[in-house]
Amino acid sequence: MQSGAPEFFYKMSQLAYPLLTSRSATQNELTLAGKLL
């Protein structure tokens, strides 16, 4: 396992969760998040 993987996924989950659960999240933001993952 890469040493930086856990921290990376933790930070991504912290950023993505509010966007996915927010009613203000746009389809473009969701698409961008999908491309980053």
Report the amino acid identity of residue 31.
Answer: T
Residue 22 located in a structural domain: yes
Residue 29 located in a structural domain: yes
* pLDDT level of residue 23 (50, 70, 90 thresholds): low
Q: CA-to-CA distance for 15 and 19, rounded, in angstroms? A: 7
Residue 2 located in a structural domain: no
Determine the pLDDT at residue 24.
Answer: 60
Average pLDDT of span 2-23: 77
Question: Domain span at residue 27?
Answer: 7-36
Does the reported pTM lie above 0.75?
no
Q: CA-to-CA distance for 7 and 23, rounded, in angstroms? A: 27
Residue 1 located in a structural domain: no
Residue 18 located in a structural domain: yes
Number of domains comprising the chain: 1
